[in-house]
Chains A and B, each alone.
Chain A
Amino acid sequence: MTDQDTAQGETVLRLSGITKRFGALTANDAISFSLAKGDVVALLGENGAGKTTLMNILFGHYTADEGMVEVFGQALPPGQPGAALAAGVGMVHQHFTLADNMTVLENVLLGTGSLWSPGLGKPAARRKLQALAQDFGLLVDPDARVAELSVGERQRVEILKALYRDARILILDEPTAVLTPQEADALFLTLRKMVEQGLSVIFISHKLHEVMAISSRVLVLRHGKLVGETATKATDRHQLATLMVGAEIEAPAPAEARPGAVLMRLDGVSTAPQGNRPGLKAVDLELKAGQILGLAGVSGNGQGALADLISGLEAPASGRLEIAGHPVTGWSPRSALLSGIGRIPEDRHRTGTVADFSLTENAVLESYRDAPIARAGWMDWAAARRATEAIITKYDVRCPGPEARIRLLSGGNMQKLILGRVLEAAPRIILANQPVRGLDIGAVTYVQEQLIAARDAGAAVLLISEDLDEILTLSDVIRVISGGRLSPEFARGEKTPAELGQWMAGQGFDHAA
């Protein structure tokens, strides 16, 4: 390889004065940094800080207004997505780009050669792939179909894809978001091996403990500016968090819960699987007043089915669903609402809001046919606007006004409106499905405090999250979902994260029950 003779510590990637404006917004403001051989640089920043824009410029998806990118001393031509790849930069996206119906080997080869020579060069490719897998601890069967692989294995295929193309610089975008703690540890081991082999890594994350564990240097972005650049050894989590948000923040520390009556009970409930999504398997669950039950689990293990069930989108195929002691009949989203269930959906853009509706129209989505918003089929838009203005004030929704289209709002403000819509209906049961995913730290804290306040006011809260830290911070009791089954209930602090990780990986279910 050409860079074998380069000295350790030589600069492999240099960004100089990258500036990118979208209208009035400066997404990247004169950002300069360089990456040395064997470096693991963590790129830290809240949502909207400009991390993704910067990577898109590096990859030629966007053209920078000012500044340039150099890889191994050569300037990259702007606006050409192939150039970065050819220069040896590989990227593993948060959402994988694999063909499910093809094998691992085929996925890796896809796009590397002519489509008209099937089989040609496959033995050599297989050898190269196996050597890479061995070297970096990325064990995966080259002949397995991607559809059969776990999320962690798919990520390994994505990394192998980049390495197969001789990437010397690897960019990982929020790589641990979909992994169990054990899988994340395995990933970190792989990254260390890469560094030993002289590769360089850019690691995009907002999880501080990972940044501390894996990186050698940290870059902090805020509002498009590089506000901090430091050796990881010379800093700590608190300092990084402060840099990231530009202010001191405190994680909410909920007081002791005082659980009351059981408000919702699932008794041996099963639901049918839908495509790749597993259904629930004989799930028993009790949600108590004044308690937050945290449901941990790796994405795609039945959280969707449980959320749909409680939201009213799906009825149990077997088993009983009781609310306040009464079995439900004719289960639908409307009856869930009328039963006093408030729902914060996982996807606030597609399920929680109508993008082209105004804030007012979105605020009354769940209450539009009842007084005072409507009478006898006629909308009272003045009343709707008043209710929306009350939510905007009370929940501090930053917006141009109640008539603005909600698509113009940031994720945090959109979520605050949804939160207001849910909480103003005074629900007795709250389903919070990934309520803070993708929000900046300020909004995260706000949403979490509101959930705790609702709990203290006597609501039963079911918190579904793939972020174990969030579950550990907020939950009074914890259960783990894996393959559509629920673990026993663990008290706060009863299990270590590693133990919960084992449950998340599906261990322990056979002895339980």
Chain B
Amino acid sequence: MMRLDPIAAPSPARTLGLPALAILATIALAAGLAAIAGANPLETFGLIVKGAVGSRFATLETLNRATPLIFTGLAVAVAFRARLWNIGAEAQLYAGALMTVVIGTQLGLPGPLAIPLMALGAIVAGALVLLGPVLLKTRLGVDEVVTTLLLNFIMALFISYLLEGPLKDPMGMGWPKSPALPRDARLPRIVEGLRLHWGFALALICAAGVWVMQTRTTLGYEIRAVGQNPQAARFAGIPVGRVLVKTALISGGLAALAGFSEVAGLKGNLTSDLSPDFGYTGIIVAMLALLHPLGVVVSALFVAGIFVGADSMSRAAEVPTYIADILLAAALLFMVLAILLTRYRVVRG
């Protein structure tokens, strides 16, 4: 029989060594798979790195791909800190994208007015999407994992319906897509001529903001207390239910900004494939960052780099792009295991 014994004060060798070991294990696994696919592992990794950051174009592509992941990663990190298991960043992202398109295309506002209003509308929409599951949790004890997860599918079908019906672009040649935002309602590029929009800057600002919120404000303190020990938090007079609702509003709003930034910064319209699972990948991003908001930026860049790099690698070598998914899944599993083993030791008997 095997048991887990908690370690009161893990040594630095454990806290630093095990995550490093997790990364090495991930690389070793991927190298094995590349070899099975008939490619030279070292060459494969070289191509992934080159594809991710090997040129100005590649780097900008990685930054663009990281932008929505920073938002969804932050959304998950904020919620998970309070042990609010928001699996529905995907739905909140689409709610934000939808609101962005509706405000941007239906109200006919001038750009300088439309852009902040679109962002604000997106935040409100995303927050409202998460509010329902959280109220069900705090009032009735309904498990939010189930409700937030299922809302993803409801939202996907709702978006499909809108894109086939009321929101369908009349000029879209029959494709299920929304009308495009007017030029002046798009997020400008950070540097003219480079394909990187202000959504990326907004993501960095949000990460810094979340970090300040968590470490410097009473709300951040409340969120951490509720997440670590709701019983002690309640006893100490922290309004646990209200803290969870506030957490949900922040989390949903952040996820919705991913939708806003993709529509207003990159795509210009809403389609049902706007997000290739940015919401779910946000969970991986947040976990790899150990829920630290600044770590989310780093891990989002890492994850985006692997995706972008693997795309380019698969064009050059004969290794399927699925290796990116395997790399991320393995990285997550090894990292979770490493976290477990820093805090517990396996004892036989």
* Residues of A that sit less than 8 Å from B by CB: 60-61, 63, 79-81, 311-313, 332-334, 336-337, 343, 345, 350-357, 361, 365-366, 368-369, 374, 377-379, 381, 407-408
| Beta-carbon contact of B237 and A350 below 8 Å | no
| Beta-carbon contact of B235 and A311 below 8 Å | yes
Contact status of A374 and B231, CB under 8 A, knowing A79-B348, A333-B236: no
Residues of B contacting A332 in the complex (Cβ-Cβ under 8 angstroms) = 237
Residues of A contacting B232 in the complex (Cβ-Cβ under 8 angstroms) = 350-354, 365
Q: Check B154 for interface membership: any CB of A closer than 8 A.
A: no
Besides A312-B237, A334-B239, A368-B221, 16 other CB < 8 A contacts? A81-B349, A332-B237, A333-B235, A333-B237, A337-B237, A343-B235, A351-B231, A354-B228, A355-B228, A361-B225, A365-B233, A365-B236, A377-B218, A378-B218, A379-B216, A379-B217
Task: Please tell me the size bucket of the interface on B.
Answer: 20 to 34
In the assembled complex, the Cα of A36 lies from the Cα of B213 at a distance in Å of 65
Among residues of A, the one whose C-beta sits closest to the C-beta of B11 is: A23
| Interface-centre pick from B231, B235, B238, B239 (highest chain A CB count, 10 A) | B235
In the assembled complex, the Cα of A352 lies from the Cα of B218 at a distance in Å of 19
Residues of A contacting B220 in the complex (Cβ-Cβ under 8 angstroms) = 379
| Beta-carbon contact of A351 and B216 below 8 Å | no
Write 30 A-B pairs (CB below 8 A) sorted by A numbering.
A63-B349, A79-B348, A332-B237, A333-B234, A334-B239, A337-B237, A343-B235, A350-B231, A350-B232, A351-B231, A351-B235, A353-B232, A354-B228, A354-B229, A355-B229, A357-B224, A361-B221, A365-B225, A365-B232, A365-B233, A365-B238, A366-B236, A368-B218, A368-B221, A368-B222, A374-B218, A378-B216, A378-B217, A379-B221, A408-B9
Q: Give the Cβ gap from A375 to chain B, nearest Cβ, in Å.
A: 9
In the assembled complex, the Cα of A53 lies from the Cα of B229 at a distance in Å of 28
In the assembled complex, the Cα of A345 lies from the Cα of B217 at a distance in Å of 27
Q: Check B171 for interface membership: any CB of A closer than 8 A.
A: no
| Beta-carbon contact of B349 and A79 below 8 Å | yes
Residues of A contacting B233 in the complex (Cβ-Cβ under 8 angstroms) = 354, 365
In the assembled complex, the Cα of A377 lies from the Cα of B212 at a distance in Å of 12
Q: Check B8 for interface membership: any CB of A closer than 8 A.
A: yes
In the assembled complex, the Cα of A295 lies from the Cα of B101 at a distance in Å of 65
In the assembled complex, the Cα of A80 lies from the Cα of B348 at a distance in Å of 10
Residues of B contacting A352 in the complex (Cβ-Cβ under 8 angstroms) = 232, 235
Residues of A contacting B326 in the complex (Cβ-Cβ under 8 angstroms) = none
Residues of A contacting B229 in the complex (Cβ-Cβ under 8 angstroms) = 350, 353-355
Q: Give the Cβ gap from A412 to chain B, nearest Cβ, in Å.
A: 16
Q: Check B219 for interface membership: any CB of A closer than 8 A.
A: yes
| Interface-centre pick from B8, B221, B225 (highest chain A CB count, 10 A) | B221
Residues of B contacting A377 in the complex (Cβ-Cβ under 8 angstroms) = 217-219
| Beta-carbon contact of A366 and B8 below 8 Å | no
In the assembled complex, the Cα of A381 lies from the Cα of B235 at a distance in Å of 22
Q: Give the Cβ gap from A420 to chain B, nearest Cβ, in Å.
A: 15
In the assembled complex, the Cα of A432 lies from the Cα of B229 at a distance in Å of 21
Residues of A contacting B236 in the complex (Cβ-Cβ under 8 angstroms) = 333, 365-366
Among residues of A, the one whose C-beta sits closest to the C-beta of B213 is: A377
In the assembled complex, the Cα of A337 lies from the Cα of B235 at a distance in Å of 10
In the assembled complex, the Cα of A226 lies from the Cα of B225 at a distance in Å of 41
- Tell me which residues from 167 to 226 in chain B have a Cβ below 8 Å from any Cβ of chain A: 216-222, 224-225
Q: Give the Cβ gap from A408 to chain B, nearest Cβ, in Å.
A: 6
- Tell me which residues from 222 to 268 in chain B have a Cβ below 8 Å from any Cβ of chain A: 222, 224-225, 228-229, 231-239
Q: Which 7 pairs show the lowest CB-CB distances between chains A and B?
A: A334-B237, A79-B349, A365-B236, A333-B237, A354-B229, A354-B228, A351-B235
Residues of A contacting B217 in the complex (Cβ-Cβ under 8 angstroms) = 377-379
In the assembled complex, the Cα of A332 lies from the Cα of B217 at a distance in Å of 23
| Interface-centre pick from A333, A353, A407 (highest chain B CB count, 10 A) | A333
In the assembled complex, the Cα of A80 lies from the Cα of B232 at a distance in Å of 37
Among residues of B, the one whose C-beta sits closest to the C-beta of A311 is: B235
In the assembled complex, the Cα of A368 lies from the Cα of B231 at a distance in Å of 17
Residues of A contacting B9 in the complex (Cβ-Cβ under 8 angstroms) = 408
Q: Give the Cβ gap from A148 to chain B, nearest Cβ, in Å.
A: 29
Q: Give the Cβ gap from B222 to chain A, nearest Cβ, in Å.
A: 8
Residues of B contacting A60 in the complex (Cβ-Cβ under 8 angstroms) = 349
In the assembled complex, the Cα of A337 lies from the Cα of B233 at a distance in Å of 13
Residues of B contacting A361 in the complex (Cβ-Cβ under 8 angstroms) = 221, 224-225
Q: Give the Cβ gap from B295 to chain A, nearest Cβ, in Å.
A: 18
Among residues of B, the one whose C-beta sits closest to the C-beta of A25 is: B8
In the assembled complex, the Cα of A38 lies from the Cα of B120 at a distance in Å of 80
In the assembled complex, the Cα of A166 lies from the Cα of B239 at a distance in Å of 53
Residues of B contacting A336 in the complex (Cβ-Cβ under 8 angstroms) = 237
Q: Give the Cβ gap from B83 to chain A, nearest Cβ, in Å.
A: 12
In the assembled complex, the Cα of A377 lies from the Cα of B234 at a distance in Å of 19
Q: Give the Cβ gap from B138 to chain A, nearest Cβ, in Å.
A: 15
In the assembled complex, the Cα of A226 lies from the Cα of B29 at a distance in Å of 52
Residues of B contacting A354 in the complex (Cβ-Cβ under 8 angstroms) = 225, 228-229, 232-233
Q: Give the Cβ gap from B95 to chain A, nearest Cβ, in Å.
A: 27
In the assembled complex, the Cα of A350 lies from the Cα of B228 at a distance in Å of 10
Residues of B contacting A366 in the complex (Cβ-Cβ under 8 angstroms) = 236-237
In the assembled complex, the Cα of A355 lies from the Cα of B224 at a distance in Å of 12
Contact of A313 among B228, B234, B239 (CB under 8 A): B234
Q: Give the Cβ gap from B214 to chain A, nearest Cβ, in Å.
A: 11
In the assembled complex, the Cα of A337 lies from the Cα of B224 at a distance in Å of 21
Residues of B contacting A368 in the complex (Cβ-Cβ under 8 angstroms) = 218, 221-222
Residues of B contacting A353 in the complex (Cβ-Cβ under 8 angstroms) = 229, 232
| Beta-carbon contact of B8 and A407 below 8 Å | yes
In the assembled complex, the Cα of A391 lies from the Cα of B77 at a distance in Å of 33
In the assembled complex, the Cα of A343 lies from the Cα of B234 at a distance in Å of 13
Q: Give the Cβ gap from B248 to chain A, nearest Cβ, in Å.
A: 18
| Interface-centre pick from A80, A312, A357 (highest chain B CB count, 10 A) | A357
| Beta-carbon contact of B8 and A313 below 8 Å | no
| Beta-carbon contact of B221 and A345 below 8 Å | no
In the assembled complex, the Cα of A311 lies from the Cα of B217 at a distance in Å of 26
Residues of B contacting A63 in the complex (Cβ-Cβ under 8 angstroms) = 349
In the assembled complex, the Cα of A181 lies from the Cα of B205 at a distance in Å of 65
Residues of A contacting B224 in the complex (Cβ-Cβ under 8 angstroms) = 357, 361
In the assembled complex, the Cα of A379 lies from the Cα of B231 at a distance in Å of 22
Contact status of A357 and B228, CB under 8 A, knowing A313-B235, A332-B237, A379-B218: yes
